[in-house]
Amino acid sequence: MPSPDHLQRPLSRRGFLAAGTVAAGVALGLVSGPAQAATWPRPFGRYGSPAARLTPLTLYVDPRGRGDFTTVQGAVSAATTAGYTLVIAPGVYRETVTAGVTDPVTGQLTAAASEMTWLGAGTDPGSVVIVYDNANGTQKPDGSGTYGTTGSATTTIRTDGFTARRITFANDWLRADHPDITGTQAVAIKVQGDRSAFFDCRFLGHQDTLYADSLALGVFARQYYTRCYIEGDVDFVFGRATAVYDHCHFRTLDRTDLATAPYGFVFAPSTAVANPRGYLVTHSRVSSEAPGGYYKLARPWVPGSDTTAHPMLTVRETALGPGIDAVAPYTNMSDTYPWQSQRFAEYRNTGPGAVISVPENRPQLTAEQAESATREAYLGDWTPGRRR
Confidence grade of residue 10 (pLDDT, cut at 50, 70, 90): very low
Report d(CA 86, CA 58) in Å as an integer: 6
- Per the CB < 8 A criterion, the answer to whether 319 and 351 are in contact is yes
Report d(CA 333, CA 89) in Å as an integer: 41
pLDDT in tens, 260-300: 999 999 999 999 999 999 999 999 999 999 999 999 999 99
Q: What three-state secondary structure class fits 74?
A: helix
> For the whole prediction, is pTM greater than 0.85?
yes
Confidence grade of residue 11 (pLDDT, cut at 50, 70, 90): very low
pLDDT computed for residue 15 by the predictor: 54
pLDDT computed for residue 385 by the predictor: 82
Amino acid in the structure at residue 144: S
Confidence grade of residue 19 (pLDDT, cut at 50, 70, 90): very low
Percent of the chain with pLDDT over 70: 86
Report d(CA 37, CA 178) in Å as an integer: 37
Report d(CA 5, CA 191) in Å as an integer: 32
Give the strand order in the sheet containing 155-157: 97-99, 155-157, 189-191, 210-212, 234-239, 264-269, 295-298
pLDDT computed for residue 113 by the predictor: 81
pLDDT computed for residue 2 by the predictor: 32
pLDDT computed for residue 21 by the predictor: 38
pLDDT in tens, 107-135: 666 666 899 999 999 999 999 999 999 99
Contacts with 353 (C-beta within 8 Å, 6 or more apart), sequence order:
286, 297, 320, 321, 322, 323, 324, 325, 326, 329
Positive or negative torsion for Cα 50, 56, 62, 64: positive
**pLDDT average, residue stretch 67-91:** 96
In sequence order, what DSSP letters do the residues of 4-58 get, joined into one string?
A: HHHHHSPPPHHHHHHHHHHHHHHHTT-SSSHHHHHH-SSTTTTS-BTTB-SSTTE
pLDDT of 33 over the 60 cut: no
Measured between alpha carbons, how far is residue 313 from residues 203, 220, 227, 242, 378 in Å?
20, 15, 19, 10, 12
Return the closest-CA partner of residue 151 out of 187, 112, 182: 187
**pLDDT average, residue stretch 91-105:** 86
Q: For residue 149, what is the enclosing H or E element? A: helix 148-151
pLDDT in tens, 182-217: 999 999 999 999 999 999 999 999 999 999 999 999
**pLDDT average, residue stretch 342-367:** 98
- Per the CB < 8 A criterion, the answer to whether 249 and 284 are in contact is yes
pLDDT computed for residue 8 by the predictor: 35
pLDDT computed for residue 386 by the predictor: 59
pLDDT computed for residue 65 by the predictor: 96
pLDDT in tens, 121-173: 999 999 999 999 999 999 999 999 999 999 999 999 999 999 999 999 999 99
**pLDDT average, residue stretch 338-356:** 98
Active site residues: 208, 235
pLDDT computed for residue 109 by the predictor: 64
Phi-psi region of 194 (alpha: psi -120 to 50; beta: other; left: phi over 0): beta
Report d(CA 87, CA 55) in Å as an integer: 11
